[in-house]
Amino acid sequence: MARKHWLMKSEPDTYSFQDLVHDGRTHWEGVRNYQARNLMRSMAVGDLVLFYHSQMKPPGVVGIAEVVKEAYDDFTAQDPKSPYFDAKATPDNPRWSMVDLAPVRPLESMVSLADLKDNPKLESMAVVRKGQRLSVQPVTAEEYQEVLVMAACGGEQDAE
DNA sequence: GCCAACGTTGGC
DNA sequence: GCCAACGTTGGC
């Protein structure tokens, strides 16, 4: 079965790629959007993730991660002490899901949002489309490969 | 800090 | 079930 590819956003102040490298593995708790949740539920172990830092100057893809556990209940939704607490989540209806991620490697160089927008091959990527705020996005194999090429080329590349 | 985009909530 | 109000995301 072919690996699928994804892009997942994180604010580095909350959880950065360096944090993931340091931890070795993490659960991706706190997603409180149904579309993003449903995408996580369709992930499989071994799927590859472009790790995107939002709220940065500049924002962009900084590393590659891998799904190491498929979707299960996000228990932080039922923890009143958690910042992600959701009163509507119960043991009968846990409502939210999360996956586990492990780092694969950082990119040789960051591929910024501006770089992604400048590449015509990536014009249909969700992350470059105006107003697309979804924190979990599907990425095609071609788009994924193109981002890796850009990272290897220093994040700057001219279209032929 | 501003504001556009978009999801969610809640009154009706 | 519609839709206006509101809250959040996230680039700039």
**What is the reported pTM?**
0.91
For A92-141, how does the pLDDT look when each residue is reduced to its tens digit (9 = 90+)?
888 999 999 999 999 999 999 999 999 999 998 988 888 788 999 999 99
Compute CA A154 distance to the chain's CA centroid, rounded to the nearest angstrom. 21
Which structure tokens are listed for A117? 């927008």
Output b/e per residue, A62-89; b: 16+ Cβ within 10 A: bbbbbbbebbeebbbbbeeeeebebeeb
For A57-98, how does the pLDDT look when each residue is reduced to its tens digit (9 = 90+)?
999 999 999 999 999 999 999 988 888 988 888 888 889 999
d(CA A17, CA A49): 11
A59 touches strand C (CB under 7 A): yes
Ordered by where they begin, the domains of chain A are 5-150 (3.10.590.10)
| CA-based nearest residue to A37, from A94, A113, A102 | A94
- Nucleotide closest in space to A52 (CA vs C1'): C10
For A16-71, how does the pLDDT look when each residue is reduced to its tens digit (9 = 90+)?
999 999 999 999 999 999 999 999 999 999 999 999 999 999 999 999 999 999 99
Give me the CA A86–C1' B12 separation in Å, rounded: 27
Give me the CA A145–C1' C1 separation in Å, rounded: 44
